[in-house]
Structure 1
Amino acid sequence: MNDSGGSRLALLRFLERVQERDLARTRRWIVDEERREAERRVGEERRPPVPEWLIERGLDRSNIVAVHTGECWDPGKRVKTATRAQAIEAPRHQVPACTKCRPDRALGIEV
């Protein structure tokens, strides 16, 4: 390879341009990631709190199918938030407690 002064300098200038573009791209990635992280934090702050109790209704929405804790992993699709009093009252009316989250134990009621 012929190492003339001009071609070596030209190669170094080329390398500099490539590295500047790489650095600019990396900085864009950082800005994008910071924006996503900020959006994620705002989303978490705005997320409503997890309800303590849930009441699952049947297809006709008039009958209650089950009582769940707010952290139940299988609450069904037709649930509404409930107060502790409603969650306590439901098993007294023969509404079953969820067998997965066991709200009866959390409420101190053995069914």
Structure 2
Amino acid sequence: MSGEQPLSRLEALRFSRRVVEQQAMRQLRVIDRWIAEEERREAERRQGEERRPPPPQWLIQYGLNRTNVDAVHTGGCWAAARSGRCRPVTRQQALEALRQRVPACIHCRPDTALGILD
């Protein structure tokens, strides 16, 4: 080893370039892997959205004991979402509940949406 010549400036620059190129390629592979993982997650998210059933149009809110009916809501009512005690129903079931004097939600007014006015 004592007989080796030190690297010339040009050889050192070429060596430095190769090292930087290898590091850059390694980092590009890492980034490409991250991109592929994100594309996979995005495709799964889109697929999940496409397969998700449509939200219900009408909801009935049950009381704390889950037997008595408290209110009728439209499907997108924020108050129904907050209660956590709602079940989806058909249009006919919502109409029937309103006819049986189940109160309509004062926020989403399903009675107006269904065309029932007192």
Q: Please, which moves more after superposition, 4-13 or 92-101?
A: 92-101
Q: What letter is aligned with 2:89? A: A
User: Distance in 1 between the 2:55 and 2:13 partners?
Assistant: 64
1:79 to 58, 76, 86: 86
Percent identical pairs in the alignment equals: 53
Identify the residue that residue 93 of structure 1 maps to in structure 2. Answer: 100
Partner of 1:13: 18
1:105, CA displacement in angstroms? 1.5
Whole-Å separation in 1 of the counterparts to 2:26 and 2:117: 67
**1:54 and 2:40 are equivalent in the alignment:** no
Q: CA deviation at 1:82?
A: 0.8
Answer yes or no: is 1:68 the counterpart of 2:93: no
CA distance in 2, matches of 1:34, 1:86: 43
Shift of 1:28: 0.7
Which residue pairs with 2:116 in the alignment? 109
Q: Matched residue of 1:74: which SS?
A: helix
Structure 2 residue 39 is matched with structure 1 residue 34:
yes
The runs of 5 or more residues in structure 2 that have no matched partner are 1-7
Structure 1 gaps of 5+ residues are none
Q: Could you tell me how far 1:44 is from its partner in structure 2?
A: 0.8
Q: C-alpha separation between the residues in 1 aligned to 2:58 and 2:104?
A: 11
Give structure 1 regions of 4+ aligned residues with deviation exceeding 3 angstroms. none
Corresponding residue SS for 1:55: strand
Deviations 1:12-71 (CA, angstroms, capped at 9, x unpaired): 011101210121111011101111011101211221211111011112222110001111
Return the alpha-carbon distance in structure 2 between the equivalents of residues 60 and 5 of structure 1: 84
Larger CA Rg, structure 1 vs 2:
2
Matching residue's letter, 1:68: H
